[in-house]
Structure 1
Amino acid sequence: MYPNAETTGSAPVVAVIAEVRFTDAPRLRRQETLDAVAIAVDGRFPVTEPLTGVNLADAGPGLPPRVEQRQGILLRNADSTESLTITATTLSYETTNFTGLEAIRTAIAAGCRALVDAQITSGLQRVGLRYIDEIRVPQPPADARGWATWIDGGLLGPLAVTPDHVPSRGIQGVAAFDLGGRAGLNVQYAAFANGSATLPQHLRRRPYAPGPFFGLDFDGFYEFGTDEYVGMDADVVTDILAKLDAPITSAFQRAITDNARAQFGPAVAGPNGASRHRGDPLAGPL
């Protein structure tokens, strides 16, 4: 998403989640299958633990959600900064130490290949890629209008409806985009007086200075139709992730100002400091 993000400690991305949903795989309810998958990726994810808790599943039109026990495994690296989660219908990769798109793709590819080797023949249903950002700056503004130094005015426009002398404590919004075909992008944003974004609890996040921050949440996805069966395939999934990353990068660059790019340095700037994708369309059809 942000070139050379690994070279700076101030990169705004605080978590990335990539998820593959597929048709139900009963084999993944067998412990021996989960063990085989865990062994296949234990070089990168040596820590293994069972999933616990419950999920709320759709019970059908007009019916309340159905409570189901979670069943699967959670695999983490030794530093607890990245993980793979596997259930009978999902493969998820999460990290709080983003070092580039390729790291995401290789992790998901390893998971997909492990599933294929375990004779999981499920059909792909959805591939998602989500970036969560916290814009934290020196001397953050007490009035949400002050974020105009760092955040594009297009996101702060509603603050103009009140007189300037009336303090604004926050703003939030959501926008949805059609990326063509079966792909889409949902963008959420908000100014917060304190706290932090909600991140995966099983991962360790990097330290941060408490105080106001501006949150940006980019959730891209591609959904497979029911008219064609596409089996579990690492190449298909990683190609979709790359195509989703491009519009997310573009949207992020449009959301921030040159002051933010100067603050975060190479984490958000392209070659020679030029902003990436500035003025580019969000994306072509996937």
Structure 2
Amino acid sequence: MGPREIYPNAPLALAVVELRHTVTAALSEADQAALKGFLAEVFPLARPAPGAVSMTVTPAGVTNEQTPPSPRYMTRDNTASVTFRPDAIAVETTRYVRRSALRELLRLAVSARQEVAPADGLTRVGVRYVNEVRADIEGPADWSQWIIPDLTNIASLEAGANGHARSWQGMVVFGDQQQGVVLRHGNLEGYAVNPSGDLRRPTPNPGPYYLIDLDSFWTPEGETPTLDWSNIESRYDAAALNAHGLFEQLITDKYRREVLRRDQ
């Protein structure tokens, strides 16, 4: 696998690697302290991730339950984090450089988890890239200059007196349940990744953008492998490269020349 071109003006707003594993008990305070010590050189800040709210409907009514916060550790510049949930490890960054750098953060997170409170098995490898494609447009039809017509031709449709399509969103699934890529796309306004969230990111002007959200994944078939780096590395690389290859097919040469390769 050779090096891929690093665009000076890439549209990537967020990169996430999620390793799902067999469910474990909640990490104790001692476990969390040990994790912090293990990660301190790269992720020195302990900043718990908020728990999720789940809704349960019963004959007696609807109840909302808040799950406990998950241990999360962040870099000092607040551009990368690792979160340990009872069923997953998630590494996120808003300052993605290349696949190998994110891979090293993932390796560190797996080593910490397995050193402190091991999980028994690997159930999914997911690599997600959230891109906000921004370019000069006067109307939705202009996206065809930057994004391939297969995604943007809907702009030419007309609904009588209502005129042409103004906005659209879609989802495309490649592959099967074991391995594939889920593409979510559409022309939107504002941001896909909140600039004022816990993870800091550059803040472009909040105008129109084209979303290219790629979730590339692998799941085991049959036997559940152990949560060891030897079972993760090649699958992470394959998932990331599948997403990269699809992204390159979704953009036009004009977008590469006039936007991606333009120095910021």
Aligned CA distance change for structure 1 residues 239 and 182 (closer, same or farther; 3 Å): same
Structure 2 residue 20 is matched with structure 1 residue 24: no
Aligned to 2:244: 249
SS at 1:72's partner residue? coil
Q: Partners of 2:55 and 2:72 in 1: how far apart?
A: 20
The reply on whether 1:160 has 2:160 as its aligned counterpart is no
Q: Is the 8 A contact 2:132 2:212 kept in 1?
A: yes
Find the aligned partners of 2:55 and 2:180 in 1 and give their Cα distance: 23
**For 2:206 and 2:119, how far apart are their aligned partners in 1?**
46
Contact 2:72 2:84 in 1 (8 A): yes
Give the aligned partner of residue 13 of structure 2: 14
* RMSD after superposition: 2.7
Q: What residue identity is the alignment partner of 1:24?
A: V
2-side partners of 1:151 and 1:251: how far apart? 12
Q: Gaps spanning 5+ residues in structure 1: where?
A: 268-286
Map 1:4-153; keep pairs closer than 5 Å: 4-5=5-6, 8=8, 10-26=9-25, 28-56=26-54, 67-137=65-135, 140-153=136-149
Q: Matched residues in 2 for 1:215 and 1:118: separation?
A: 38
The match for 1:231 among 217, 226, 235 is 226
1:48 Cα deviation after fit: 0.6
Aligned length: 255
Q: Deviations over 1:183-233 (max 9, x none)?
A: 1211011112x31113582100112122111111001111124x3131111
The change in CA–CA distance for 1:4 and 1:75 in structure 2 (over 3 A counts) is farther
> Deviation string for 1:219-268 (max 9, x for gaps)?
1111124x31311112322221100112211111111100101123459x
Matched with 1:210 is 206
Q: 2: CA distance between counterparts of 1:34 and 1:99?
A: 28
The CA distance in 2 between the partners of 1:107 and 1:199, in whole Å, is 23
Deviations 1:123-182 (CA, angstroms, capped at 9, x unpaired)? 111111000111112xx2232111111010010122333289934322221100116x71
C-alpha distance in 2 between matches for 1:76 and 1:173: 33
Of stretches 28-37 and 251-260 in structure 1, the one that deviates more from structure 2 is: 28-37
The 1:142/1:52 distance shift into structure 2, 3 A limit, reads: same
Aligned-pair identity (%): 22
Q: TM-score by structure 2 length?
A: 0.87
Instruction: Give 1:73 deviation, angstroms.
Output: 0.9
Is 1:3 paired with 2:4?
yes
Q: Contact 1:16/1:130 (CA < 8 Å) preserved in 2?
A: yes
Question: Within 2, Cα distance between the matches of 1:216 and 1:121?
Answer: 33
Q: Given the superposition, is the C-alpha separation of residues 161 and 167 from structure 1 closer, same or farther in structure 2, using an over 3 Å criterion? A: closer
Say whether the 8 Å CA contact 1:93–1:107 is kept in structure 2. yes
Q: For residues 184 and 154 of structure 1, do their structure 2 counterparts lie closer, same or farther at Cα, with a shift above 3 Å needed?
A: same
Amino acid of the residue matched to residue 116 of structure 2?
A: A
Report 1:258-273 matches (<5 A). 258-266=253-261
* Unaligned stretches of 5+ residues in structure 2: none
